[in-house]
């Protein structure tokens, strides 16, 4: 793995995928999928730009077979596809800034790829399919540069059986074609491959407006009442987050609830997916509704330049749960911070938040300590500067990627304070620091709710 990482330039945490020799600009996907036998055929036209001098580039494509690869203007280009890597060799070396267009025909029966974090990517449902690609499972359904820093726009056309509903971005077309239905979707803003959505199922859809943002709920008809109850406050969440983080960063928001049970909900660009088991009609998992919505600002609009900085995704999304709790009449953010601090203090003190290691990138301590770091920062610089920082973060880095160093610099710029020691303690040291002193009540939340 290490030699491959050096060769391809993959992320340190996911060295077997991604290629930093180029940047993807736009992807056109033309797909046909048969639910009945889980058969996918596709054509991907990928426009990119060389970031360095190179005579070849690589795409990630797992468990599917490429039958043809063509490079515009280069009839002598060759390709080699093995071990999930599709290498394209040009007949001439590209210079930095040179654009290329590669067209790939491929097909097969998609399935998840194994990883240290479980199975990733394409997953057959009882009656349909879902995609859960974080951190590097997108290659299970289309050829891509599966690196968090690589963000592109997408046009996705997919044809499948008439009975099925499809979600894959902002829908621009939906029309019958023989005994099937053809759908077209767009992701106009730069999107990392792992965030490209695709959900297929026998769903009904319902249009709603969330604080002026158009949105849709897609769900199995038999759980309609549960869905309407559990997502009834989504518009209030949107209003709170727009005032706290800045305008919603995409054209719309879509939530899909699968008939199947899913272990956890998951964000995608402009959307989120929940299993039916997480929608019980009692609001038990309301905090997760807030968490996934917050990811549209933190993780989707502002992406990661490297997976080691995953706390920049999960810390703010987790803290959004606490902000929502307080705004909606539940426990205050400070009470929840005290309760989670006490719980974390009892666990092993062996995790560095700004670089937890690949095996711990989804450790719950990354989520909760990330949220605690933000709460400690809020106590240190005050509410006004804190929320100004979050709005500046999403405004300055929206549609791009950023790093922990970028966050530290912006925090010091907005607050006018030297925060070096603060961030050293919270981000670079294993020991959990003390929370800053405050006049806020020191009573922790009594019930932290259901953990997922």
Which CA distances in Å does 43 have to 143, 158, 189, 222? 9, 11, 21, 36
How far is it, in rounded angstroms, from Cα 144 to Cα 116? 20
Q: Is residue 442 part of a domain?
A: no
What pLDDT, on the 0 to 100 scale, is given for residue 4? 40
What CATH number does the domain containing 41 carry? 2.60.40.1730
Counting beta carbons within 10 angstroms of the beta carbon of residue 309, is it exposed (0 to 12), middle (13 to 18) or buried (19 or more)?
Answer: buried
Question: What tokens does 73 get?
Answer: 């203007």
- Quick one: 237 and 361 in the same domain? no
Q: Are residues 155 and 282 in the same domain?
A: no
Q: Are 442 and 342 in contact (CB under 8 A)?
A: no
What contacts 327, CB < 8 A, 6 or more positions away? 236, 240
Spatial distance between the Cα atoms of 404 and 57, rounded to a whole number of angstroms: 29
Low-confidence ranges of the chain (pLDDT < 50): 1-6
| C-beta separation of 161 from 34 below 8 A | yes
Q: In terms of domains, do 38 and 171 share one?
A: yes
Burial category of 178 from C-beta neighbours within 10 Å (exposed 0-12, middle 13-18, buried 19 and up): exposed
Q: Is residue 362 part of a domain?
A: yes
Q: Give the CATH number, domain containing residue 254.
A: 3.30.2010.30
Q: Would you say residue 421 lies in a domain?
A: yes
Instruction: Name residues whose C-beta falls within 8 Å of residue 373's C-beta, 6 or more positions apart in sequence.
Output: 311, 315, 353, 426, 427
Which pLDDT score, from 0 to 100, does residue 226 have?
A: 98
Q: Among 243, 269, 296, give the residue marking a domain's end.
A: 296
Same domain, 220 and 172: no
Residue 345 sits in the same domain as residue 233: no
**pLDDT at position 450, please?**
66
Note whether 182 and 283 are same-domain residues: no
Q: CB–CB of 183/173 below 8 Å?
A: yes
Give the distance from CA 330 to its chain's centroid.
Answer: 27
* 178 and 58 assigned to the same domain: yes
How many residues does the structure list for the chain?
A: 452
Omega of the bond leading into 445 within 30 degrees of 0 (cis) = no
Q: Is residue 131 part of a domain?
A: no
Count CB neighbours of 163 within 10 A: 12
Query: Of 133, 147, 103, which Cα lies nearest the Cα of 8?
Result: 147
270, 251 Cβ separation under 8 angstroms: yes
Do 9 and 135 form a contact (C-beta atoms < 8 A)? no
Phi-psi region of 119 (alpha: psi -120 to 50; beta: other; left: phi over 0): beta
Do 187 and 211 reside in the same domain of the chain? Answer: no
For residues 364 and 422, membership in a common domain is answered with: yes
Q: Domain count of the chain?
A: 3
The pLDDT, as a whole number, for residue 179 is 84
User: What is the rounded distance in angstroms from the CA atom of residue 120 to the CA atom of residue 366?
Assistant: 20
* Three-state secondary-structure class, residue 449: coil
Question: Which residue, among 185, 180, 254, has the nearest Cα to 214 in the 3D structure?
Answer: 254
In order, the DSSP letters of 74-88 are BTT-EEEEETTEEEE
Look up the CATH number of the domain holding residue 324: 1.10.390.10
Is residue 41 located within the same domain as residue 179? yes
| Distance between CA atoms of residues 332 and 45, nearest Å | 49
- Only one residue has tokens 């974390």, namely 344
Q: Does 240 map to a domain?
A: yes
Flag whether 230 is in a domain.
Answer: yes
Structural domain contains residue 98? yes
Rounded to whole angstroms, how far apart are CA atoms 316 and 294?
8
Residue 246 lies in a domain: yes
What is each CA distance from 225 to 78, 127, 219, 233, 426, in whole angstroms? 55, 21, 11, 14, 43
Domain end residue (candidates: 296, 316, 345): 296
pTM above 0.75, yes or no: yes
Residue 79 sits in the same domain as residue 226? no
Q: How much is the pLDDT for 5?
A: 39
Helix (H, G, I), strand (E, B) or coil at 16: coil
Range of the domain at 282: 204-296
Cα 140-144-146 angle, rounded to 5 deg: 85
Q: What pLDDT does residue 7 have?
A: 55
pLDDT in tens, 413-445: 999 999 999 999 999 999 999 999 999 888 888
Give the number of C-alpha atoms closer than 13 A to the C-alpha of residue 302, restricted to the C-beta side: 28
- Give the pLDDT confidence score for residue 19 in this predicted structure: 97
Q: Which of 266, 296, 326 is the last residue of a domain?
A: 296
Same domain flag for 370 and 424? yes
pLDDT, residue 178, reads: 81
């Amino acid at each position: 793995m290490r030699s491959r990482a050096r060769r391809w330039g993959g992320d340190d945490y996911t060295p077997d995928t991604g290629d930093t020799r180029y940047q993807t600009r736009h992807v056109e996907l033309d797909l046909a999928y048969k639910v009945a036998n889980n058969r996918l055929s596709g054509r991907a036209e990928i426009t990119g730009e060389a970031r360095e001098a190179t005579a070849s580039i690589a795409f990630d494509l797992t468990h599917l077979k490429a039958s043809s690869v063509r490079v515009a203007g280069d009839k002598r280009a060759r390709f080699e596809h093995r071990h999930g890597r599709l290498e394209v060799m040009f007949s001439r070396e590209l210079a930095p800034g040179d654009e290329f267009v590669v067209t790939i025909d491929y097909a097969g029966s998609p399935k998840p790829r194994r990883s240290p974090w479980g199975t990733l990517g394409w997953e057959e449902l009882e009656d349909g399919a879902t995609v859960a690609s974080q951190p590097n499972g997108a290659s299970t359904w289309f050829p891509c540069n599966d690196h968090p820093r690589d963000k592109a726009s997408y046009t996705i056309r997919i044809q499948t059986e008439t009975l099925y509903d499809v979600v894959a971005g902002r829908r621009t077309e939906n029309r019958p074609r023989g005994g099937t239905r053809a759908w077209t979707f767009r992701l106009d803003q730069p999107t990392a491959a792992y965030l490209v959505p695709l959900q297929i199922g026998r769903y009904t859809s319902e249009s709603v407006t969330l604080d002026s943002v158009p949105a849709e709920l897609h769900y199995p008809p038999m759980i309609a009442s549960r869905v309407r109850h559990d997502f009834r406050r989504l518009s209030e969440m949107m209003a709170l987050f727009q005032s706290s983080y800045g305008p919603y960063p995409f054209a719309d928001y879509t939530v899909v609830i699968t008939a199947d049970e899913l272990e956890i909900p998951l964000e995608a660009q402009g959307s989120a997916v929940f299993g039916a088991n997480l929608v019980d009609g009692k609001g038990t998992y309301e905090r997760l509704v807030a968490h996934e919505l917050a990811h549209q600002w933190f993780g989707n609009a502002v992406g990661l330049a490297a997976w080691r900085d995953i706390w920049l995704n999960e810390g703010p999304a987790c803290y959004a749960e606490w902000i929502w709790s307080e705004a909606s009449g539940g426990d205050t953010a400070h009470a929840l911070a005290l309760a989670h601090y006490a719980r974390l203090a009892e666990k092993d003190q062996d995790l560095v938040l700004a670089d937890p290691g690949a095996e711990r990138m989804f450790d719950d301590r990354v989520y909760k300590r990330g949220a605690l770091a933000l709460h400690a920062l809020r106590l240190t610089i005050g509410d006004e500067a804190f929320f100004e920082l979050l709005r500046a973060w999403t405004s300055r880095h929206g549609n791009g990627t950023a790093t922990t160093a970028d966050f530290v610099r912006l925090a010091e710029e907005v607050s006018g304070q030297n925060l070096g020691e603060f961030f050293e303690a919270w981000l670079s040291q294993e020991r959990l620091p003390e929370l800053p002193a405050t006049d806020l009540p020191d009573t922790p939340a009594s019930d932290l709710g259901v953990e997922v």
